[in-house]
Structure 1
Amino acid sequence: MTTMSEQTTDQRPLPERVAADLRDEILSGIVLPGAVLLTAELRKRFVTSSATVERALHILCEERLVTRCADTADEAPNAVVLEHRQRTMQPARSLAPADPGQPFRWVTEARRRGVRATCVLLEVKPVPKPPAHIVQALGLNAGNPVLLRSQILTFDNEPAGLVKAYFPLQIVQGTEMMEHRKIRGGTSTLLAQLGYPPRRCVDSVSARIPTQEQHALLKLPRNVPVLRTFRVVHSDNDRPVEAHDTVEAGHLYELQYEFSQIL
């Protein structure tokens, strides 16, 4: 296990560094749910004070990774590790249109993994001048408008992701996609019905520091990064028909991609 002496170049405040090491061990499964983090042992391990350990554990409490328990034999309360809430999702499973009468595949996949997942629609609006990266991703000409549909994804009633989905306005104009309501089965199902079934998607994934908007909408604890996935969906003839700009709460979300060897 890492000690503070091995982190001489880390300029973060000491409580954040201690919390970072413990967080990684909890999320990685090195420290299992139910384990007790003893303040006295943490003081020795990190060669630091009870006050520093106390602040580190407080950070993890805010993220609901641990809960506190009093110990009269120690100067400060210890902590019990909770079952971490980071859920593993497989993006490829949500690409295909939903079966008739079924909900959005993302919701179905989450429920299959024992998570109560919902989508909360925020806004639906035409964007006359879309951002440059959307214009490029959708292969549009300057001045071509798009439709923006944004929503919050929740895990067990807790905000887990913010999605901004863009569509060329010319292919969705006049459809129910323009209405401020959820699309049964998701937008990929409607696009397939319109003659634009998803055939290929390209995901670009990166870690980011959350913006003020993302921090507020996702109700993030402090110092928690977001996972940003930019997905472009292509239909027949490799035509781009959808671009998703998604940020997921780093303490709640894990992406899993499966690959087979290509010969």
Structure 2
Amino acid sequence: MTLTDDSPDTRPLSQQIADDLREAIRDGVYEPGSQLPSQRALAQRYGAARNTVTEALNILSREGLVTSQQGRGVFVREKQTLIRLGNDRYSPKYREMGLSPFLLECARQGKRGRFEVLGIEKIKPTQELAKRLKVSPSTKSVLRRENVFYADDDPVYRVTTWIPLAIARGSGLEQAEVPHQYGIHGVFEEKGHVMTRIDDEISARMPTPEELSYLELPEGVPVIEVLHTSLDQDGDPYEVTLFVMRADMNGLRYNVPVE
């Protein structure tokens, strides 16, 4: 397709070019990982100035469809194998494998999972957090743990976990390396809190500048937020965790009864 400034289409020429290239990508003319024609070639094809082509490519980049590689050109973004967060991730049926939910999911995808502890501290919770955990908002009643999780060398999500200090104290949860084979959830069970129900609130948004940095997010990629609350056999909350996930490397999977 050839586009010119004389086209009756009222859209800016850069948008017309971006729309045409987007359609070609979706139709498989340019497959994931393939290189788009050079800006000079695109300028000739569409009868456009180079800066108009540059803006068209920037539109596709902001949408997360293409990525620019310095000195090489512009490439169609390859689809990533997703690390899936599902409703069964805490199921005891996986215990015999000896892996945490994240490490198990990485292994399924042929990736090496690991995490880095960013910080552990006792905090005074916000009113909302105190209400969720049923603790006092006026004292340092909560232990906060922050981690970044990696699949191979890619940071895939940042995790902040809040635990009532009454549960965390003396349990090993204040240590960077939790001294339990099954991680923090093994500690919770030993403390008498068996996960019986989860309450997940899910939303999506564009990342903050800090998230762009620590998640190494390409342009145009949003984040998924999962605010998770663990409820024990008595229906009491004993842990709240916020997952901030790269949307290009993570997915959500739920298979639950309709109540």
Q: How many angstroms does 1:228 deviate by?
A: 0.8
Contact 1:39 1:53 in 2 (8 A): no
Query: Which residue does the alignment assign to 2:115?
Result: 119
Contact 1:231 1:243 in 2 (8 A): yes
Query: Which residue does the alignment assign to 2:230?
Result: 233
CA distance in 2: counterparts of 1:221 and 1:108, whole angstroms: 26
| 1:46-73, Cα deviation, whole Å (9 max, x unpaired) | 9965444445547749x79557699xxx
Q: How many angstroms does 1:126 deviate by?
A: 1.1
Query: Which residue does the alignment assign to 1:217?
Result: 214
Out of 142, 147, 154, the position equivalent to 2:143 is 147
Match of 1:229, as an amino acid? Answer: V
Question: For the structure 1 residues 126 and 158, does the alpha-carbon distance in structure 2 shift closer, same or farther, using more than 3 Å as the test?
Answer: same
1:174 aligns with 2:173: no
Q: How many angstroms does 1:114 deviate by?
A: 2.2
Q: How many angstroms does 1:199 deviate by?
A: 0.8
Q: How many angstroms does 1:153 deviate by?
A: 1.1
**Where in structure 1 are there 5+ consecutive unaligned residues?**
71-76
Q: How many angstroms does 1:198 deviate by?
A: 0.9
Q: How many angstroms does 1:116 deviate by?
A: 2.4
TM-score (norm 1): 0.73
1:94 aligns with 2:89: yes
Q: How many angstroms does 1:219 deviate by?
A: 2.2
For residue 236 of structure 1, give the secondary structure of its aligned residue in structure 2.
Answer: coil
Question: For the structure 1 residues 60 and 177, does the alpha-carbon distance in structure 2 shift closer, same or farther, using more than 3 Å as the test?
Answer: same
**Where in structure 2 are there 5+ consecutive unaligned residues?**
none
Question: For the structure 1 residues 179 and 32, does the alpha-carbon distance in structure 2 shift closer, same or farther, using more than 3 Å as the test?
Answer: same
CA distance in 2: counterparts of 1:238 and 1:48, whole angstroms: 64
Out of 135, 152, 155, the position equivalent to 1:159 is 155
Question: For the structure 1 residues 33 and 223, does the alpha-carbon distance in structure 2 shift closer, same or farther, using more than 3 Å as the test?
Answer: closer
Query: Which residue does the alignment assign to 2:205?
Result: 208
Question: For the structure 1 residues 49 and 180, does the alpha-carbon distance in structure 2 shift closer, same or farther, using more than 3 Å as the test?
Answer: same
Query: Which residue does the alignment assign to 1:131?
Result: 126
Quick one: percent identity of the two aligned structures? 21
Contact 1:153 1:159 in 2 (8 A): yes
For residue 133 of structure 1, give the secondary structure of its aligned residue in structure 2.
Answer: helix
Match of 1:142, as an amino acid? Answer: P
CA RMSD of aligned residues (A): 4.1
CA distance in 2: counterparts of 1:249 and 1:239, whole angstroms: 30
Counterpart mapping for 1:183-198 below 5 A: 184-198=181-195
Match of 2:32, as an amino acid? Answer: P
TM-score (norm 2): 0.74
Contact 1:230 1:246 in 2 (8 A): yes
For residue 170 of structure 2, give the secondary structure of its aligned residue in structure 1.
Answer: coil
| 1:154-182, Cα deviation, whole Å (9 max, x unpaired) | 12211110100011110121111111224
Contact 1:69 1:80 in 2 (8 A): no
Moved more, 50-59 or 197-206: 50-59
Match of 1:104, as an amino acid? Answer: S
Match of 1:207, as an amino acid? Answer: A
Aligned length: 243
| 1:199-226, Cα deviation, whole Å (9 max, x unpaired) | 1101111112323332222122334321
Larger gyration radius, structure 1 or structure 2: 2
